[in-house]
């Protein structure tokens, strides 16, 4: 399942996106409406670690696929800061993965 850098990026992006939504939709209301700041501390720490993994996965994909364009980096970084952004960014990654799967093995290398 996580055998390629692109698949790892898609997986980490999904988990990072979920953690961001939990931070904004659950932990922040708990902090400000229920007086539970520990929720933001815990979820924020997990989300921060996942954000670092996401950036590392973006770097890995950029190196392996030579995607050093401003378009790729701009979309990847924007996706990590906008709620639901990683899910939208995943469509681009899924299309690239589908193109890889459609190529014969000899060409893929």
CB contact set of 54 (below 8 Å; sequence gap of 6+): 9, 12, 13, 16, 80, 86
pLDDT value at 106 more than 60: no
Contacts 24+ apart (CB under 8 A), 90-98: 90/10, 90/13, 90/14, 93/6, 93/9, 93/10, 93/13, 94/10, 96/6, 96/65, 97/4, 97/6, 97/7, 97/10
Q: In terms of pTM, does the model score above 0.85? A: yes
Q: What is the mean pLDDT of the chain?
A: 91
Whole-angstrom Cα distance, residue 39 to residue 26?
Answer: 8
Average pLDDT over residues 15-39: 97
> pLDDT tens digits, residue range 52-90?
999 999 999 999 999 989 999 999 999 999 999 999 999
């Amino acid at each position: 399942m996580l055998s390629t850098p692109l698949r790892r990026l898609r997986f980490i992006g999904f988990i990072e996106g979920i953690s961001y939504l939990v931070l904004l939709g659950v932990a922040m209301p708990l902090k400000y409406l229920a007086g539970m700041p520990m929720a933001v501390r815990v979820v924020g720490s997990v989300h921060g670690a996942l954000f670092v993994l996401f950036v590392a996965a973006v770097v890995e994909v950029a190196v392996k696929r030579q995607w050093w364009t401003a378009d790729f980096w701009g979309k990847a970084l924007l996706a990590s800061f906008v709620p639901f952004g990683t899910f939208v960014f995943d469509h681009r990654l899924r299309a690239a993965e589908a193109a890889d799967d459609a190529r014969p093995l000899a060409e893929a290398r």
